Amino acid sequence: MSAFDAIVVGGGPNGLAAAITLARAGRSVLVREAKDRLGGGARTAELTLPGFQHDICSAIHPLGVASPFFRSLPLTDFGLQWIHPELPLAHPIDGDRAARVSRSLEETADGFGEDVKAYRQVFEYFCRHAESLLEETLGPLHFPKHPLLLARFGLRGVRSAKAFVDRWFQTDEVRGMFAGLAAHSMLPLDQRLTAAVGLMFGVTAHTKGWPFPRGGSEQLIVAMQRYLESLGGQVEVDAPVESLNELPSAKAILFDLSPRQLVQIAGDELPARYRNKLQKFRHGPGSFKLDWALDGPIPWTSDACRRAGTVHVGGTFEEIAVSEQAIWDGQPCQRPFVLVAQQSRFDDSRAPQGKHTGWGYCHVPAGCTVDMTDQIEAQIERFAPGFRDLILERHRMFPRDLEHYNANYIGGDITGGVMDVWQTFTRPVARWNPYTTPSPRIFICSASTPPGAGVHGMCGWHAAHAALSRTLR
């Protein structure tokens, strides 16, 4: 077998980011992927009916255009087309009202009534320094280049979303909208750092938007693979790895896998004490996902929802807080917070002419076996009467299906592990450089390292630089 400078095990966005970073540095790289094609959390398939293209997991990519890694890549030269919906986000509440979030901070704030001044005060400074803020926050703990910016963000973001909205916002629309942003953390909204998640999603909406690739999320992966191969990188699919002995010779091996999988594959090459720490890594709640083939667009009563690529369905702050707390109490909520994407409104390649797709999921306890179809569809019907009448076919994914689709999603956890105050900064263990291990040739580049979940490539980018400075100098 040929020798390589580096082998990347796992061909998700972070694995490909690591491989691209190494190839750009002139190193020979092989990517080994267990499935029949690359992608991890970014694949697309006809899940319902012929001609309907559904994103199997990730669908909307705020950080696909905003992260420092992706900003550095010429992926449009390799076929990637980003689509920006008219509005990144809408958040309906009862009474035919909705929070409308546009790319313009001023336009958005002007629609928020008595919260207009507070909304500008919260987001204006961070939006003005968005690129620096992303560089500071999308990675491990470090000495900051912009300490005042990071301190200001930290003082606001360290709070819980509950404390944050109680301090800043009064209207149901804005409070509910911020709850939806913060709920991407998959934590109870009274926990610290949930405000930081809400702030960051708001900043990306106003600066880079929440786009998605034309043709499906997998088109981002296709472009990354083409770029990697143009740099001389190699890819093998249908190539699962069960032990290090199965791999060609390499100076460095980077794993885009969960800590649990790393322990199974690396075995005794990692000390027992370190393996035990990896085994204690905590995974969070799961998800229940639905995809729909539709006879028409989702009939939202709110004009803002019809113009948005993403719609957060859950109502008021209090309702969403109850929903997110329930999953940590071990019970799925009867009125769950539902994240909805409607790509076909803006991308005619997703469905046959005149037809549409819908994509939605809610959070549930890890490994939950409850069918949440009725609850999810009832929430959408609440704000889009007649939605159920448009369903031609649906596809369900329970947490066990998500884990089968991607072994990194332990118990259906799509975030790569709990991101609470402790584990956000100690992913996957407390270590000065979290991408390294006690073995000088083994590195971790999955979402179980900082900065965690999301299609941003930064876990792979940081891990590749760790390998370049430690082993591939």
Phi, psi of 363 (to 5 degrees): -85, 140
The backbone region for 143, taken as left when phi is positive above 0, alpha when psi lies in -120 to 50, beta otherwise, is beta
Burial class for 63, CB neighbours closer than 10 Å (0-12, 13-18, 19+): buried
Cα–Cα distance for residue pair 161/33, rounded to 1 Å: 38
Non-local CB neighbours of 11 within 8 Å, separated by 6+ positions: 31, 32, 33, 35, 38, 39, 40, 221, 235, 237, 256
How many CB atoms are located within 10 Å of the residue 106 CB? 12
pLDDT at 276 over 80: yes
Mean pLDDT of the chain: 97
Which domains occur in the chain, in start order?
Answer: 4-81+213-283+413-470 (3.50.50.60), 82-212+285-405 (3.90.660)
- 247: Cβ contacts below 8 Å, ≥ 6 apart: 7, 9, 32, 241, 253
pLDDT at 425: 86
CB-based contact 254:421 (threshold 8 Å): no
DSSP string covering 357-403: EEEEEEEE-TT-----HHHHHHHHHHHSTTTGGGEEEEEEE-HHHHH
Residue 219 and residue 44 in contact, taking contact as beta carbons nearer than 8 Å: yes
Determine how many CB atoms are found less than 10 A away from the CB of residue 10: 28
pTM over 0.75: yes
Beta strands in 237-323 (DSSP E): 250-255, 286-294, 308-313
Whole-angstrom Cα distance, residue 12 to residue 31? 10
State pLDDT tens for residues 357-397.
999 999 999 999 999 999 999 999 999 999 999 999 999 99
Residue 187 pLDDT exceeds 90: yes
Mean pLDDT calculated for residue range 206-223 = 98
Residue 93 has pLDDT above 70, yes or no: yes
277 falls in which pLDDT band (50, 70, 90)? Answer: very high
Query: Which residues fall within 8 angstroms of residue 374, CB to CB, at 6 or more apart?
Result: none
Q: What are the pLDDT digits (tens) for 121-154?
A: 999 999 999 999 999 999 998 999 999 999 999 9
Question: What DSSP line would sit under 73-107, residue for residue?
Answer: --GGGGT--EE--SEEEEEEETTTEEEEE-S-HHH
C-alpha distances in Å from residue 108, one per residue of 100, 180, 205, 303, 389: 6, 16, 11, 14, 32
2 confidence band (pLDDT: 50, 70, 90)? low
State the Rg of the chain over Cα. Answer: 21
For the chain, give the percent of residues with pLDDT over 90.
98
What is the pLDDT, as a whole number, of residue 210?
A: 98
Mean pLDDT over 173-186 rounds to 98
